[in-house]
Chains A and B, each alone.
Chain A
Amino acid sequence: MSQVLKNNYSALEFVYEFYLKMKKSNISLAYEGEITHQITKAFTALAESSMQREQDYTTVQKKVFHVMVECLQNVSKHAERDFNYYSSKDGRGIFLISKDEKEYNITTGNIIKNDKVESLRELLEKINSMTKEELTKLYKQQIREGRLSPKGGAGLGFIDIARKTGQKLIYSFLRIDDENSFFVLTSTIPRIKS
């Protein structure tokens, strides 16, 4: 791709198409790379100031902040390290925010090992099948009995996102090869006060 961008004409075409796609999908932030703590802080600060400008409800702002942090930390802690960047401490992936008048959508995409797909799918299906009360119960159980992973994960992220948004998690897995899959997760936060 770097060659494509060196050629004036193809660079123009590529960048313009990319721009149009972002506009068409109402994407207000797109990033691909390592998800460090600094990146998490920078993106949440950006989103906060933009939501303040647009005068979103405080509850909506807080929920977006919550979901962004949990999503970014999921990638940072759980994404499979790309062999090209094996020295990195933090996982990498793609991060997108899109919005329209009705809702914010927060999307992450990252590589995971194929042998982790089934358990992750089961967990997400289980969370999506639960009522608000069941999620609260699961949260309480997990916070009491769960232990922090060496990476500092509490196993509460997805449950928390489902509870805070009141929406189903939208996810899919794309098999890349015998070892890896690409995992995409979208969380939706309604902009209208519930």
Chain B
Amino acid sequence: MLQPLRIQGTDDTPTVILDPNPDSPHFEISGRSLPEDVVAFYEPILEWLDEYAKNPLPKTVFDFKLEYFNTASSKLLLDILLKLEDMYDDGHDVLVRWHYPEDDEDMQEAGEEYADIVEVPFEQVPYQID
């Protein structure tokens, strides 16, 4: 079985959890993304998804819960979404959940734009910050 990929977030890189354990699957990218080298940071994630796509779970729910990402990261986030779109096109069940702080219009808009660009089931999920 494909080993889970876990990356602990920092003040400039997001937390990444890619865990295909059938009993408790978890796919998440959260936090802040402005890595010094975006390609180096996202490459292992994209490679992991390529492997996963060969034999995915019956249903993949992918959570994006970002506070902030720079424009260089936005391009790599689209690459992740395009891989999920490919999986969906291949007949697998995929759901993207885009979480944003309820008062953050820019983050909400970013989700809406991604939803327009990729053809994959996409849910907008506002949340409250205490």
Q: Chain A: residues with CB nearer than 8 A to chain B?
A: 37, 40-41, 45, 58-59, 62-63, 65-66, 69-70, 73, 136, 139-140, 143-144, 146, 148, 152-154, 156-157, 160, 164
Contacts and interface: CB of A to CB of B under 8 A. Distances in A.
Given A152-B39, A160-B71, 15 more contacts: A59-B104, A62-B68, A63-B106, A69-B70, A73-B70, A73-B72, A139-B113, A140-B117, A143-B74, A143-B117, A144-B78, A148-B39, A152-B37, A154-B72, A157-B71
> What's the dominant secondary structure at chain A's contact region?
helix
A37 B106 contact: no
Interface in B35-58: 36-39
Nearest to B107: A62
Given A143-B78, A144-B117, A152-B39, A41 B11 contact: yes
> What's the dominant secondary structure at chain B's contact region?
helix
B11 A156 contact: no
B75 A154 contact: yes
Interface residues of B, number: 22
A111 to B, nearest CB: 22
Contacts of B90: none
Contacts of A148: 38-39, 72, 75-76
Contacts of A136: 113
B72 A152 contact: yes
Contacts, number: 59
B112 to A, nearest CB: 10
Q: Which of B11, B36, B38 has the most CB of A within 10 A?
A: B36
B64 to A, nearest CB: 15
B89 interface: no
B119 interface: no
Nearest to B116: A140
Contact of B68 (A45, A65, A154, A160): A65
Given A143-B117, A152-B38, A58 B71 contact: no
A90 to B, nearest CB: 10
A154 B104 contact: no
B105 interface: yes
Contacts of A59: 103-106
26 contacts: A37-B12, A40-B34, A58-B103, A58-B104, A59-B103, A59-B105, A62-B104, A63-B106, A69-B70, A70-B70, A73-B70, A136-B113, A140-B117, A143-B74, A143-B75, A143-B78, A143-B117, A144-B78, A146-B75, A148-B39, A154-B71, A154-B72, A154-B74, A156-B72, A156-B75, A157-B71
